[in-house]
């Protein structure tokens, strides 16, 4: 399983994750050991009354990795994330962040940045004031705080509107400010809970670019979304969770290969269309064409061929079912 991340020499000495714009994302040498996990969940369990919201989730996410956590509503994503950031204490199991221990400790929480699905910003403050306020919660002050605020605003493209009250921002700008607030203390681990929910394509693009840049710099990112194509494009690995259980973890290709099912080859002959499920679409197409040339079988000439390959959505639906989750 490939895990992109920074090499060990880069991590030696001072905490280099504090430098926001340092390019660090690189492919590890095959001869080097894999980077240590920044987030390790071990047999995590949490119940609310009789309902097991999280039921034995184990997971390791390594430095520099973008990990997509997908699941239908009520699958246990939020509970897992809440335990990962220390908001909830697990009934059993453990969470370890950056080899520092449980995030229920205040010290460990300083290593985590959270952009919640709800816009956790103050509407009556300016973008600048919001970030200053959140920076001070992490012990930042003076010129260091000013530098971080300016950099975070620049990263999400809000510097020109920094002095405007946040209530005057568009939905996309608020989302970007929400993301900037999670970055203000330069954490090595970022948890982004549906950061692109309800934003326009421009802001979405900006957010995805920012996430890619952050990953390139070596940050570990846990990313939840309902947009499968976003996860497919962005995530190094994806985990699908349902009913509190982690159903699968792997790269998108691995998951598609394992759980995506067969490709569908659609062969059109005039008004008629044949859909053929197959593991080998090319062979199926060749067969269809050969069949068309066979004059003994008085079939119509082929007018079109389309291949529907399985993707992450197929994997998701195949694992979690098509039943509505309200």
Partner 1 sequence: MTIHQSISAAVAIAATDLKLLLRDKLDAFFTFVFPLIFAIFFGWVFGGAGGGETGKIELGIVQLDKSASATAFADDLAKLDGFAATRFDDEAAAKDKIRKGELVACVVIPEDFNAKFEGLFATGTGPTVRGYVDPSRRGEAGLLEGRLTELAFKGMTRTFTNTESMKKQLAKARESIEKSPETDPSRKFVFNTFLTGIEGLLADNARRAAQAPGSEGATTGGLGAGMENFRPVRIELEQLQQQRTGPTNSYEVSLPQGIVWGLMGCVTAFVGTLAVDRQRGTLVRLMCSPLSTSTIIAGKSLAGFVSCMAVQWLLIGVFAVAFKVRVPEPLMLLLATTCASLGFVGLMMFLAVMGRASDGSGGMGRAVVLVLAMIGGGTIPVFIMPKIMQTISGISPFSWAVRAVEGATWRSMSLTELLWPCGVLLAIGAVGFTLGAMMFRTHARTH
Diameter of the chain by CA atoms?
Answer: 85
**The dihedral sign for the CA sequence 256, 260, 262, 263:** negative
- Contact in structure between 263 and 310 (CB atoms under 8 Å): yes
The Cβ of residue 93 has, within 10 Å, a number of other Cβ atoms equal to 16
If the CB atoms of residues 88 and 315 are measured against partner 1, the closer one turns out to be 88
- The per-residue DSSP string of 8-36 comes to HHHHSSS-GGG-TT----BPPPTTSPPPP
Shortest reach from residue 25's CB to partner 1, in Å: 25
Q: Among 108, 113, 181, 184, which Cα is nearest to 145's?
A: 184
If the CB atoms of residues 121 and 247 are measured against partner 1, the closer one turns out to be 121
Site residues (vs partner 1, CB under 8 A): 82, 85-89, 106-107, 109-110, 112, 114, 116-122, 124-125, 129, 133-134, 136-139, 141, 181
| Chain centroid, CA 239 distance in Å | 9
For the packed helices 312-320 and 252-259, what is the interaxial angle rounded to 10 degrees? 50
| Chain centroid, CA 30 distance in Å | 25
If the CB atoms of residues 128 and 316 are measured against partner 1, the closer one turns out to be 128
If the CB atoms of residues 70 and 88 are measured against partner 1, the closer one turns out to be 88
Shortest reach from residue 114's CB to partner 1, in Å: 4
If the CB atoms of residues 75 and 131 are measured against partner 1, the closer one turns out to be 131
- Contact in structure between 302 and 276 (CB atoms under 8 Å): no
Task: Provide the 3-class DSSP secondary structure of residue 228.
Answer: helix
If the CB atoms of residues 115 and 240 are measured against partner 1, the closer one turns out to be 115
Shortest reach from residue 188's CB to partner 1, in Å: 14
**In angstroms, rounded to a whole number, what is the distance separating the alpha carbons of residues 125 and 123?**
6
Shortest reach from residue 70's CB to partner 1, in Å: 21
If the CB atoms of residues 116 and 314 are measured against partner 1, the closer one turns out to be 116
Shortest reach from residue 110's CB to partner 1, in Å: 4
Shortest reach from residue 261's CB to partner 1, in Å: 38
If the CB atoms of residues 45 and 266 are measured against partner 1, the closer one turns out to be 45
- Contact in structure between 196 and 40 (CB atoms under 8 Å): no
284 token code pair: 């199926």
**Whole-Å CA distances, 205 to 68, 172, 318:** 17, 10, 28
**In angstroms, rounded to a whole number, what is the distance separating the alpha carbons of residues 70 and 76?**
10
Shortest reach from residue 81's CB to partner 1, in Å: 10
Shortest reach from residue 210's CB to partner 1, in Å: 18
């Amino acid at each position: 399983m490939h895990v992109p991340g920074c090499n060990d020499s880069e991590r030696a000495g001072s905490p280099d994750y504090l430098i926001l714009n340092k390019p660090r994302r690189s492919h590890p040498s095959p001869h080097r050991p894999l980077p240590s996990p920044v987030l390790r969940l071990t047999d995590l369990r949490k119940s609310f009354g009789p309902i097991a919201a999280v039921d034995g989730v184990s997971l390791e996410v390594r430095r520099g990795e973008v990990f997509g956590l997908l699941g239908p509503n009520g699958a246990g994503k939020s509970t897992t994330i809440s335990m990962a950031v220390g908001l909830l204490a697990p009934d059993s199991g453990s969470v370890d962040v950056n080899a520092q221990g449980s995030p229920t400790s205040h010290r460990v929480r300083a290593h985590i940045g959270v952009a919640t699905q709800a816009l956790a910003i103050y509407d009556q403050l300016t973008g600048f004031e919001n970030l200053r306020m959140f920076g001070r919660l992490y012990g930042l002050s003076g010129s260091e705080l000013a530098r971080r605020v300016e950099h975070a605003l620049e990263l999400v493209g809000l510097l020109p509107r920094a002095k405007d009250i946040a209530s005057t921002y568009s939905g996309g700008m608020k989302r970007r400010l929400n993301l900037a607030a999670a970055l203000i203390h330069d954490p090595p681990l970022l948890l982004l809970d549906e950061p692109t929910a309800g934003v326009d394509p421009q802001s979405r693009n900006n957010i995805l670019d920012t996430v890619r840049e952050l990953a390139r710099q070596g940050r570990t990112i846990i990313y939840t979304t309902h947009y499968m194509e976003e996860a497919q494009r962005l995530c190094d690995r994806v985990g699908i969770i349902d009913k509190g259980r982690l159903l699968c973890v792997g790269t998108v290709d691995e998951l598609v290969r394992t759980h995506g099912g067969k490709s569908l080859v659609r062969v059109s002959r005039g008004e008629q269309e044949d859909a053929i499920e197959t593991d080998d679409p090319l062979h199926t197409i060749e067969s269809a064409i050969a069949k068309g040339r066979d004059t003994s079988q008085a079939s119509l000439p082929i007018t079109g061929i389309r291949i529907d390959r399985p993707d992450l959505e197929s994997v998701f639906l195949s694992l979690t079912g098509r039943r509505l989750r309200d």
